[in-house]
Amino acid sequence: MSTITIAAPASKEKVKAPPLRPQNRQYAILALLVLIAIPLPLILPAAQGAVAVRILIFLLMAVGWNIMSGFGGMFSFGHAAYFGLGAYTSAYLLVKQNVSPWIGMLAGMAVAAAVAVLIGYFSFRYKLQGAYFALATFAFAEMLRLIVTSSAFANKSVGFSVPLIQGSSLWKIQFPADSPAYFWVALVLAGAAVAVSIGFLHSRAGRYVTAIRDDELAASSLGAPVMRHKLMTVALSAAITAVAGAFYTQYYLFVNPDLGFGSAISIQAIVPVVIGGIGTIWGPVVGAIIVGSLTDVTATLLRTPPGFLGFLQGRSGLDVVLYAVLLILIVRLLPKGIVGTLVTRWRR
């Protein structure tokens, strides 16, 4: 009998599991979100399915930008550079060398990371900060756009079209237009990117980088290797953004200098994060869903406008107007973004 009385409290203690560590909790939420998302393309109508894929592309770009500018505090205004390098590397390898886009994607990540480290090295070496850093990143993206536009190697302003194949092939990332497979591939990529960003934030390097962001002088005087960790962050961010570029080309079957390196791409990487919450894990996710759905809402609005908006029929620009308004409102009213504001309220 006595053994039972001793065992009982012991088992009680076992039942009360210790609280999950924050990263495990975040991984669990991610797994749940991915599980919920898996059947989506089977349920949604085809048009909404395309929106869902677009959201995932936004998500990849947003997660990439957030690592450098949110966690790292290095405000990049030139993420189109890495998106374009990813898109162009994989497109070039596929079109000219017939290499699988999966390998092209890896090559694109490597190229983007290398270029990012190069740009980052010089920017940090010459201590560019704030607006000057943003302007420099912007200049590098524009330089790449101009170089690509004028080099025969990259088909000048024509760009690359992905050669169509018969049937579908996972190895070539090509499926029939309405196939849910595109969504699942994008979901795996986006899920992996979010998982990487969770892992990074809680890793030793991530701790260093957020410390450097908050007070570089203090961090470096305590012995944090500033340059190395900044460059690591920049490389990781560029690599994830390159994945978005490579997948974009594969999904839309086409890329040209403006679609790859245009400043609109850099803006598309920034806006979802700002709306969701800069420097948070879930900000890019929430922001991408909002911005992605918004573009769909405005597209429908333009196709079949209600009476009082009749003059808008067939006009372009409304989608950007709406997300510009959203951007301004969020920055003015919720400077920490939706997720950032919620988290602050929660902790209070």
Partner 1 sequence: MSELSPGATLAPEFSPPDDTKAKQRKAFLGRAGVVAVVLVVAIVVALLQSGSGLVVWQSVVTGILTGGLYGLIAMGLTLIFGVLDIVNFAHGALLAVAMFISFGMVAGTGMHPYLTLIVAVPALFLIGAAVHRGLLSGSAGKTLENQLLITLGLSLLLENLLLMFFGAEPRSIALPGDFQFSLLGAIVAGSRLYAFLGAILLGAVLFWLLRRTRLGTAIRAVAAHGPGAELVGINVKRIHTVTFAIGTACAGAAAALAGPLVTVTPTLGEQFNITAFVVVVLGGMGNVVGALVGGLLIGLVEQLTTIYLGGQSSLLGVFVVFVLVLFLRPQGLFGRRA
C-alpha 224/C-alpha 228 separation (Å) is 9
Between 188 and 324, whose beta carbon lies closer to partner 1? 324
55 CB burial (10 A radius; 0-12, 13-18, 19+): buried
CB 47, min distance to partner 1, A: 23
| List of residues contacting partner 1 (CB under 8 A) | 75, 77, 122-123, 125-128, 130-132, 134-136, 138-140, 142-143, 146-147, 149-150, 157, 216-217, 220-221, 225-227, 263, 267, 270, 274, 278, 312, 315-318, 320-321, 323-325, 327-328, 331-332, 335
Between 96 and 315, whose beta carbon lies closer to partner 1? 315
Are 200 and 229 contacting, i.e. CB atoms less than 8 angstroms apart? no
Between 157 and 344, whose beta carbon lies closer to partner 1? 157
CB 61, min distance to partner 1, A: 16
CB 84, min distance to partner 1, A: 15
Q: Residues near 100 by Cβ (< 8 Å), separated by ≥ 6?
A: 94, 171, 172, 173
CB atoms within 10 A of CB 199: 14
Between 128 and 192, whose beta carbon lies closer to partner 1? 128
CB 24, min distance to partner 1, A: 31
Between 253 and 312, whose beta carbon lies closer to partner 1? 312
CB 153, min distance to partner 1, A: 14
Are 72 and 230 contacting, i.e. CB atoms less than 8 angstroms apart? yes
Show the tokens assigned to 213: 């962001």
CB 201, min distance to partner 1, A: 19
Between 134 and 338, whose beta carbon lies closer to partner 1? 134
